[in-house]
Homo-oligomer: A and B are copies of this chain.
Amino acid sequence: MANMNFIDKLGGASKRNDSLLCIGLDPSMEKIPTFLHAAKDPIFEFNKRIIDATKDLVVAYKPNLAFYEAEGPEGLKSLMRTIEYIPASIPIIADAKRGDIGNTARAYARAVFDVFGFDAVTVNPYMGVDSIKPFLNYEDKGVFVLCRTSNPSASEFQNIGAKPLYQIVAEHAVTWNVHENCGLVVGATWPEEIKKIRTIIGEDMLMLIPGIGAQGGDLEKVVKFGTNSHGENAIIASSRGIIYAGKDRNFDEKVRDVALSLRDKINSLRH
């Protein structure tokens, strides 16, 4: 299972858990329940409870590397424990947004795929195809290229040009999808752009859509415009809205309640 390709693993988890919901595992020490601070590895302990509470509800987990790097080398050990703990049948996406010259991108790809064992990664297109190819060359892994991001200043550069940059990125990504392992990151906060991008990339390419929950994306439009005509090929990600749903010892019950309700709401909109 560990060596199963990303797309098959994703399809399996989606079917088994009847889900498009991806949970962002983005723990920060100042936000996790304080009773966990006494644990040997509080970050891992926090993730473990969330995984136990939601592993039958999700299509994928998505740890953002920033929150582990912020704890130094020990934080990366917490990340490795987390990856090991997640059932091998659920794909894990490294939210890393990496991008560098080819020689360096190869080192990043080795880090996320070979060393940490992720099934997929997010990458930044600013430096062009050179910086993305070393990831795409791992044919069994998924690569999500930032297209139109969820944050308020997304349009500052992504909308530059007569044809906006984000649309050009989407067009190029279609040509990069030779091994059928390339997808796009599109923020839930921009439903019209989601619609436009789905038109550009067609039915088959995956969209990873963060920005519901804390960032306030419109779920109905996200599901309507983001999925293909079969209600598939979108991964809808929420992090803070789920993982910080509770503060006390039974926080994981609240986490499950919110995740379950969100998964079901997404399903009611796509079926």
Interface residues of A (CB under 8 A from B): 26, 28, 64, 66-67, 69-74, 76-77, 80, 95, 97-105, 107-108, 110-111, 115-116, 124-131, 146, 149-158, 160-162, 165, 168-169, 172, 214-215, 240
- Please tell me if the beta carbons of B157 and A26 are within 8 angstroms of each other in the complex: no
- Please tell me if the beta carbons of B107 and A70 are within 8 angstroms of each other in the complex: yes
- Please tell me if the beta carbons of A146 and B126 are within 8 angstroms of each other in the complex: yes
- Please tell me if the beta carbons of B115 and A127 are within 8 angstroms of each other in the complex: no
Q: How far is the CA of A131 from the CA of B104 in the complex (A)?
A: 22
- Please tell me if the beta carbons of B127 and A151 are within 8 angstroms of each other in the complex: yes
Cβ contact of A77, chosen from B73, B80, B129, B158, cutoff 8 A: B73
- Please tell me if the beta carbons of A125 and B70 are within 8 angstroms of each other in the complex: no
Q: A126-B157, A146-B127 are in contact. Are A102 and B151 (CB under 8 A)?
A: yes
- Please tell me if the beta carbons of B160 and A161 are within 8 angstroms of each other in the complex: yes
Q: How far is the CA of A159 from the CA of B158 in the complex (A)?
A: 13
Q: Which residue on B lies nearest to A215, using beta carbons?
A: B101
Q: Which residue on B lies nearest to A79, using beta carbons?
A: B73
- Please tell me if the beta carbons of B111 and A66 are within 8 angstroms of each other in the complex: yes
Q: A76-B73, A77-B73 are in contact. Are A28 and B107 (CB under 8 A)?
A: yes
18 A-B residue pairings within 8 Å (CB atoms) = A28-B107, A64-B100, A66-B98, A66-B100, A66-B111, A69-B107, A69-B115, A70-B115, A97-B100, A99-B124, A125-B126, A127-B153, A128-B154, A128-B155, A128-B157, A130-B153, A160-B160, A160-B168
- Please tell me if the beta carbons of B101 and A149 are within 8 angstroms of each other in the complex: yes
- Please tell me if the beta carbons of B126 and A158 are within 8 angstroms of each other in the complex: yes
- Please tell me if the beta carbons of B126 and A153 are within 8 angstroms of each other in the complex: no
Q: Which residue on B lies nearest to A111, using beta carbons?
A: B69
Q: A100-B97, A111-B66 are in contact. Are A130 and B152 (CB under 8 A)?
A: yes
- Please tell me if the beta carbons of B153 and A128 are within 8 angstroms of each other in the complex: yes
Q: Which among A70, A71, A116, A215 has the greatest number of chain B C-beta atoms within 10 A?
A: A70
Q: How far is the CA of A67 from the CA of B99 in the complex (A)?
A: 13
Q: How far is the CA of A254 from the CA of B152 in the complex (A)?
A: 50
4 new A-B contacts at CB < 8 Å, known A72-B111, A97-B99: A26-B104, A72-B116, A124-B124, A161-B161
The 6 closest A-B pairs by CB, nearest first: A128-B153, A128-B156, A66-B107, A69-B111, A130-B153, A161-B161
Looking at the assembled complex, report how far the CB atom of A84 sits from the nearest CB atom of chain B, in whole angstroms: 13
Which residues of chain B come closer than 8 Å to A169, judged between CB atoms?
A: 157
Q: Which residue on B lies nearest to A146, using beta carbons?
A: B126
Q: Which residue on B lies nearest to A100, using beta carbons?
A: B97
Q: How far is the CA of A149 from the CA of B127 in the complex (A)?
A: 7
